[in-house]
Amino acid sequence: MRIPGVRDDFPRPAPAPGLCELRFENRFVDELPGDPERRNAPRPVRNACYTLVDPTPVRSPRLLAWADAAGELLGIARPASPEGPEAQVLSGSRVLPGMRPYAARYGGHQFGHWAGQLGDGRAITLAEVEAPDGSRHELQLKGAGVTPDSRSADGRAVLRSSVREYLCSEAMHWLGVPSTRALSLAATGEPVERDMFYDGNPQVEPGAVVCRVAPSFVRFGNFEILAAQEESELLRRLADFVIRTQFPALAGGGEVSPAARADWFEAVCRRTADMMVAWMRVGFVHGVMNTDNMSILGLTIDYGPYGWLEGYDLQWTPNTTDLPGRRYCYGNQPYIAQWNLARLANALYPLFEDTAPLEHGLRAFAQVFEQGSMRMLADKLGLSSIDREGDEALVRELFELLQASETDMTIFFRSLAGVPVQGEDAHLLGPMAGAFYDAHALGGAHGARLAGWLRRFGERARAQGLPDAERRARMNRVNPKYVLRNYLAQQAIDALAAGDASVLERLMRVLSRPYDEQPQHEDLAARRPEWARHRAGCSALSCSS
């Protein structure tokens, strides 16, 4: 139909191709040495960066979810049917022409100890695609079957952990936190057995595969294994490959120089620091910050027993395996990141044979984290900076208050924008009412102390002379209204397991605009309900996935 007054001779953008029509590249495989052995059984891998291995086909592939935003990034059309050829590919049942699937070789420090060879035990990278904007991304299936790195495990993933990875990858992206992305979630139609509580009661659960997307899935551990096995030539080749393909501005086109390698390590430290500032800003706790779960690109990677702070608590860890030492609790994360970077520095030492560039990078981490944290705190409070007399005391007391009575971190900061800069105590406290898990928190001494703090905060905000509406808008741009609360993810899992994808779809839609008010979805911004406090999956999680 011709619409009057609208020209119809504009060149129209070509419709996006389907996944099966894409052209695939495989630079990791083409440019780095692979395992000469192809036998797909648990075994040590030596003198290689990867093993070529195909995903294991599954019984009944079916797409359960497709992330439109990731599809748009890659320029891939949404599949027409949940059981079409895309479901075959994205569940690992079919390898397309041009793809050279591989499992990467890596090691890692787990809970502070060297664990030797780990590697992609259930993740298989299919290929790389060039997006319409010229960026390149690898497609990786998680839960795609056994590889030489599977050890005694099955190479599979269960639906619950796959939904959690799918949701959180995209939620983090929308929050502005560097993360690997998720394109799709596919059911395998095959059962997977897991002992969720490690108590000798394994259950059969539905299996699933997530297709993850990232420019590279290289981890600190890819370098650590080469250093541990004294494969120095390969270590250099992997480093130079990562620098050339992922940090081209540093490589400068030709041979990678020692100076470029030093700049690269510093860049990794800086990116990791930025990621830590972002996690602390939104209250994300990774739960398993082993060096094999640290991306060389500074992306959040490997969503396992992660969680979101509800009650603000520096000591909180979502991972039941981490409970004895709380190594990976919220407040420890920046220190662990730096510890992990020090492990990476040790692994890279043979490239430099000098500690100075590595020490320089580690110092850059500390500086970037410290400056970034001050900037982030100022932003969260709507202040142009935290540098006036009394500011540090104001911030210190705020965090003491947050720990003193169980306070929902997300709701607290979001509500702070709505507090008037002067008025009676009741007016100051009114907007904060939804943030406390103790119904009487605002009644007694705590309420009086908080009102005192809000009064001083209001005076400080007034003193900077920024129009109030502008200050509030700024705060709402960094303090999310919607985060992936653990019980919300669990509700999406329960519904999907019962055949209802609408809960997951609604959550994805709402989380794609985490800083916007969405009045019809207010329920998703509420405090965690009491029933969820101790329910499995809603607060603490095990590594079993």
Q: Minimum CB separation from ligand AMP for residue 69, in Å?
A: 24
Residue number with CB closer to Mg ion (180 or 407): 180
Burial profile 131-153: b = 16 or more Cβ within 10 angstroms, e = fewer: eeeeeebbbbbbbbbbbbbbeee
**Catalytic residue, candidates 292, 313, 379, 408:** 292
302 binds Mg ion (CB under 5 A): yes
Q: Minimum CB separation from Mg ion for residue 321, in Å?
A: 13
Residue number with CB closer to ligand AMP (149 or 266): 149
CA-CA distance, 400 to 310, in Å (whole number)? 16
What does each C-alpha distance from 451 to 242, 399, 455, 498 come to in angstroms? 52, 14, 6, 46
Q: Which of Mg ion, ligand AMP, none does residue 150 bind to, with CB < 5 to 8 Å depending on kind? A: ligand AMP
Q: Minimum CB separation from ligand AMP for residue 42, in Å?
A: 9
Q: Minimum CB separation from Mg ion for residue 288, in Å?
A: 7
Q: Which of 125, 229, 293, 490 binds Mg ion (CB under 5 A)?
A: 293
224 binds Mg ion (CB under 5 A): no
Q: Which of Mg ion, ligand AMP, none does residue 120 bind to, with CB < 5 to 8 Å depending on kind? A: ligand AMP
Q: Which of ligand AMP, Mg ion, none does residue 228 bind to, with CB < 5 to 8 Å depending on kind? A: none
Q: Minimum CB separation from ligand AMP for residue 302, in Å?
A: 5
Tokens coding 484? 């992936």
Q: Which stretch binds Mg ion (CB under 5 A): 57-65, 131-139, 294-302, 334-342?
A: 294-302
Q: Which residue is nearest to Mg ion (CB)?
A: 302
DSSP-H helix ranges across 405-501: 409-416, 425-429, 445-463, 468-478, 486-497
Residue number with CB closer to ligand AMP (41 or 356): 41
With CA atoms as reference, report the closest residue to 432 among 407, 461, 404: 407
Question: Nearest 5°: phi and psi at 46?
Answer: -130, 155
Considering all CA atoms of the chain, what is the largest pairwise distance in Å, rounded to the nearest integer?
Answer: 75
Residue number with CB closer to Mg ion (121 or 514): 121
Question: Nearest 5°: phi and psi at 533?
Answer: -55, -45
Question: Nearest 5°: phi and psi at 149?
Answer: -100, 10
CA-CA distance, 202 to 339, in Å (whole number)? 35
Residue number with CB closer to Mg ion (220 or 312): 220
Q: Which stretch binds Mg ion (CB under 5 A): 18-26, 291-299, 453-461, 537-545?
A: 291-299
Are the beta carbons of 105 and 225 closer than 8 angstroms?
yes
Tokens coding 3? 């619409």
Would you call 292 a catalytic residue per the annotation? yes
Residue number with CB closer to Mg ion (164 or 261): 164
Question: Nearest 5°: phi and psi at 151?
Answer: 50, -130
222 binds Mg ion (CB under 5 A): no
| Positions that interact with ligand AMP (CB under 6 A) | 118-122, 149-150, 153-156, 288, 293, 302, 304, 543
Q: Minimum CB separation from Mg ion for residue 1, in Å?
A: 53
Q: Which of Mg ion, ligand AMP, none does residue 121 bind to, with CB < 5 to 8 Å depending on kind? A: ligand AMP
CA-CA distance, 206 to 190, in Å (whole number)? 6
What does each C-alpha distance from 413 to 300, 310, 326, 374 come to in angstroms? 23, 12, 25, 16
Q: Which residues bind Mg ion (CB under 5 A)?
A: 293, 302
Residue numbers annotated as active site: 292
